[in-house]
Each structure stands twice: as structure tokens, then as C-alpha cells.
Amino acid sequence: MLGAQRFEYATAADPALNYCLWEYSPAVSSEDKFRSINLLYHSFDVAGIDGRAFAIVEAIRQEIGSFRTVFGIKLLPGRLAWEFYFYDYARQRREVSITRVLRAIDRWLPCALPVRENLPYFMFSLDLDAELANGRRPLDVVHMYIGNPGSTVSSGIAFDIRATGTTLENMYFFFDARTQLGDIAKKVTSSAHFDEATISLQSILDPQLRDCQTICVANKREHDCIYFSGIGVDQLLLFFERFAYPSAIVDFTRANRSSLDHLLFDVGFDYRVEGDRLLVLKSGYYGVF
């Protein structure tokens, strides 16, 4: 297994960061335990993705440094896919820009999209899948995130940048899971994609996951999404079981539970109600490299 040969172990100097690159206090001592990047490497092995994926990760890290990139491992129908997220809250005074990252990975993921670096984005993300990793197609979309002034909670707006133009993708709203559960419930039910008369709210606000730090609700064009930030490894395993992750991922996580118990994880799933059933379109879990 190529990924296993690259496994990395935490040091006392490692920062503990969630999927927004916000710091948290580790559940237990992290020294000599797994870094979350090992989950990414293992997922590459499970998917049998081209070795260029490892080179892309290393090129990004060499360009902008360690612990500055968030990765998402996505389970779609019949396959795994990935997304890399980059933050720089300095906005126009940013150091980590779309242009800089695209140049660093151009050898593996060529992208000819025009980017306006004067825009006040604080975050962007890039997709990765098997076809992109093996060079069968170029990178044809960049996701750009800007702030949402006027919102009463932390909020962001995402746009797709494509050759055909820029379009609104979704809106995100972040809530404190312990003090704003009522507001979270109202946000989930205030949607054209959810019908509380046919689907239980608990199927979205999963009791096994909502004991966390932050819950984010996103309104997307054709569905909604919910994210639970700051869950433990046992909750991660429950998440894997609920959404039927590949047994290799579940078994690896369970076998290495004691090497992962210092981490707090972030998970999410996209959904909409169709008729009398809840349709889950994709789910994902996150880490940092």
C-alpha cells in the first residue's frame, strides 16, 4: 500500500485545527499518534487512485507549508472523491491565493480558468477525483468563498468559477452546537428541500453527531447540507456505519482508534427530501495536512 509507506506521526508542536483552520484543544496527548493526513493517504489506497495524487499533496505542502490545507474525503454513489480547501482570512492581503496554488500543481492539474485576485475571498477549494489524478481531464472549476456581511452568525457564500462564468453555488451558516440548537433546527426546517411532515428532524440533526462544537447548515442549489465539527473518533465510526463507508475505511479507523483518539473530526452530508424519503447525495469527512 503506497499510502501506508508515507504515514506520518504527530509531534508536540503540531497544531490542532478543524476544517475551518480554527484551533481546538486535543482530546488527549497527540505526540507519536497519527496525523489526520494518514486518513487521506489510506483513502487514496482504498480507491486505487493514481500515484499523482500523492505528488499533488506534496506539491501543495511544499508551496504553502504544512497544516494550511484542509482535505475532504467524499463518498459519492459507487466511488470516493476528494476536495482540498485553502484559507487565508487576510483576504486581499492574502498569502495563499488561487493563483499561487494552481501554479504549484499545474504539472498534474492544469487549469486555465481566469481568476480575479482583487476579490475579497477568504477561502477556495479544488476538486480531485480519479480522472483528474490520472490526467484524463483538466481542472475545470474553482470554488471561491466570500463573506456574508449582515448575517447574525458566521456565514459564507460559495461561487463556482468556470470557463463559462461565475455562478452562485451555496450559502453556509455556522452555529454553536451547544447553545444554538434551536436556531439550527429552524435553519434546517426553513428549506424547500426538507419536509418535517414526512422526515424526522433527527435524521438531519443526528443525536449521535450533534454532541460536537459547531454545526454548519448549507443551502445549496438543489439540496441542503449539514456539517458537524468537533466529533471524536467513536462518533466518526458511527458516521461511517450510518453512511455505509467502504469496509476498508471503517476497519482501518477502528484498528487505529488509539492512534486517532486525540483528533476531533468534522463530517457532513448532502441531502434532500424526495417524496417520503430522505435522499443522501454524498457525505464526507475532513482533516488537515
pLDDT (tens digit per residue) in 153-202: 999 999 999 999 999 999 999 999 999 999 999 999 999 999 999 999 99
**Phi, psi at residue 191, to the nearest 5°?**
-155, 145
Residue 5: the pLDDT is 72
Please, which residues have CB within 8 angstroms of residue 152's CB and are 6 or more apart in sequence? none
Look up the domain containing 223 and give its range: 9-288
- 2 assigned to some structural domain: no
pLDDT of residue 1: 57
Beta carbons within 10 angstroms of residue 273's beta carbon: 21
Residue indicated by cell numbers 487549469: 111
Residue 136 within any structural domain of the chain: yes
> Cα–Cα distance between 198 and 5 in angstroms, integer?
48
Does residue 58 form part of some domain?
yes
**Lookup result for grid cell 488537515:** 288
What is the per-residue pLDDT for 3? 62
Nine-digit cell string for 85:
480547501
Alpha-carbon distance of 283 to 227, in angstroms, equals: 9
pLDDT > 90? residue 27: no
Could you tell me if residue 1 is inside a domain? no
C-alpha span between 107 and 110 (Å, rounded)? 6
**How many domains does the structure of the chain reveal?**
1
* 186 vs 205: CA distance, rounded Å: 11
Spell out the residues 6+ positions from residue 236 whose beta carbon is closer than 8 angstroms to its own. Answer: 253, 260, 265, 267, 285
Within a domain: residue 239?
yes
**Which run of H or of E encompasses 226?**
strand 224-231
How far apart CA 74 and CA 225 sit, in angstroms, is 13
Distance of CA 212 to the CA centre of its chain: 16
| Mean pLDDT over each residue of the chain, to the nearest integer | 96
Who has greater pLDDT, 7 or 283?
283
User: Is residue 4 one of the residues assigned to a domain?
Assistant: no
On whether residue 36 sits in a domain, the answer given is yes
User: Do the domain assignments include residue 3?
Assistant: no
Phi/psi-derived region of residue 230, left when phi > 0, alpha when psi is between -120 and 50, beta in every other case: left
% the chain with pLDDT above 70: 99
What pTM value is reported for the model? 0.95
**Which among 241, 266, 270, 269 has a CA at the least distance from the CA of 253?**
241
Mean pLDDT of 35-42: 97
